[in-house]
Chain A
Amino acid sequence: MPTKTHVTTTINGEQIDFLCEPRQSLLECLRDVIGLTGTKEGCNDGNCGACTVNMDGRIVTSCLVLGVEAEGANIETIEGVADGSNLHPLQLAFLENAALQCGICTPGFIVSSKALLEQNPNPTEHEIRFWLANNLCRCTGYDKIVRAVQDAAKRMQEA
């Protein structure tokens, strides 16, 4: 019996084929097999949100998805957020509002916030905090992150 499974998936609009063991998480596959290391490993049990990716239109913690489940899926990671060298408004807003210090949580926050703004272009502070409850940041105290998301929402509406 083969020890590895062949998976065909779409990551950031590009078809990707990879081999993985059934026990490997999507996070391990992204980082260690495919080489997309923008997605970070934090707690590895679904609490911290650092490994958040968008899978078929919903954000998920990729540490709680098996790599084999990516078969046929459409996945967006932090590497797919910018348009070439043009940063996404969320990325600009995070930079300009100093919404990060160490930065390990930032890819997860950006992927989560992007999904929020796609379905709710003008969220209240409460809605932002509630949506981002599954993303932990130990540096900023969250206020700057919330302000950055509000700023990005404004930029995207004016664009």
Chain B
Amino acid sequence: MKWIDYENAKTVDEAVKILSQSGGKARPMAGGTDLIVQLRVKDPRVDADVVVNVKDIPELNELSYSADKGLTIGAAVPCHEIYNDANVIAHYPALIDSASLIGGTQIQGRASLGGNLCNAAPSGDSIPNLVAHNGVATLAGPNGTREVAVEDVCTGPRQTCIGKDEILVSINLPNPGDGFGANYIRFIPRNEMDIAVVGAGVSVNIAGGKFTAAKVSLASVAPTPISVPDAISALVGESVGDGPIQKAANAAKEAAKPISDMRGTAEYRKHLCEVLTRRALNTAVERAQGGK
């Protein structure tokens, strides 16, 4: 690995100060499960001289819920804490779909959803799920904090709208309300520990037998995880049933712009978008109707 300096920031302000003074050559590190590998293989997209540990900053370790504010997930909270958290289990069970399949046990002890978002891989397993939960990212920089919808954070493969002098502090998932259900599923050729060929994160709100809100987001089918507005409009206002779900799944297939690579051809991936979106919506509906 090339030479790096290591800084251990104890506050958000301190981290921002180190980032601002480094001339764009510092990178925040939470679990490090992507960053350390990228530094080791000298990934040209990660041009860092300084690694700033952010795991000792209180705001980045917050994992709290209130009916008002919803769920606040500090950017450094590891997956392991998310799927063992009573509030997540009670109010956001679908978040566990992602947190429990990113890497294996060892990775889940370190890797955070915040890091998954900042890494901005097209295949990031938590990103469609955070989008499905209407996630909002809080960023801190030299000029204070700002909020960005999770679906607007990724701008390209491994690229985000987060400035080099900014850090992700937390992700907020608003209270999903009654009649909510969500699901994230992915297709991989192995049973565990693989990169998604396609991932689908969806959510629905159901009231009086009709879809009152919906989200459909896909991973691994475009330069960034994408949202599918046509799938949402196929659902909202319609009666819950196979017809609108199939229309939404077809819209997902249409919206996908995958490449062909060693994990799958573009044609195969488009087919998977339809299948996975349909299955995820069916599970989300079941969860919305069954309470979980």
Chain A residues near B (Cβ < 8 Å): 5, 21-25, 44-47, 49, 52, 55, 58-61, 63-66, 68-69, 112, 115-116, 130-135
Contacts and interface: CB of A to CB of B under 8 A. Distances in A.
Contacts of B104: 49, 132-135
A59 B193 contact: no
Nearest to B109: A58
Per DSSP, chain B at the interface is loop
Contacts of A133: 104-105, 191-193
Contacts of A25: 36
Nearest to B29: A66
B20 interface: no
B88 interface: no
B105 A23 contact: no
A58 B6 contact: no
Given A22-B6, A134-B104, A66 B191 contact: no
18 contacts: A22-B51, A45-B40, A55-B109, A58-B80, A58-B110, A59-B106, A59-B109, A64-B36, A65-B110, A66-B32, A68-B6, A69-B32, A69-B53, A112-B106, A130-B192, A133-B104, A133-B191, A134-B103
Interface of B: 1-6, 31-33, 36-37, 39-41, 51, 53, 80, 103-107, 109-110, 191-193
Contact of B193 (A58, A69, A134): A134
Contact of A66 (B6, B107, B109): B6
B4 A46 contact: no
B37 A112 contact: no
A132 B4 CA distance: 32
Given A23-B3, A61-B106, 9 more contacts: A22-B5, A22-B6, A45-B40, A49-B106, A60-B109, A64-B110, A66-B32, A112-B106, A134-B106
A24 B1 CA distance: 8
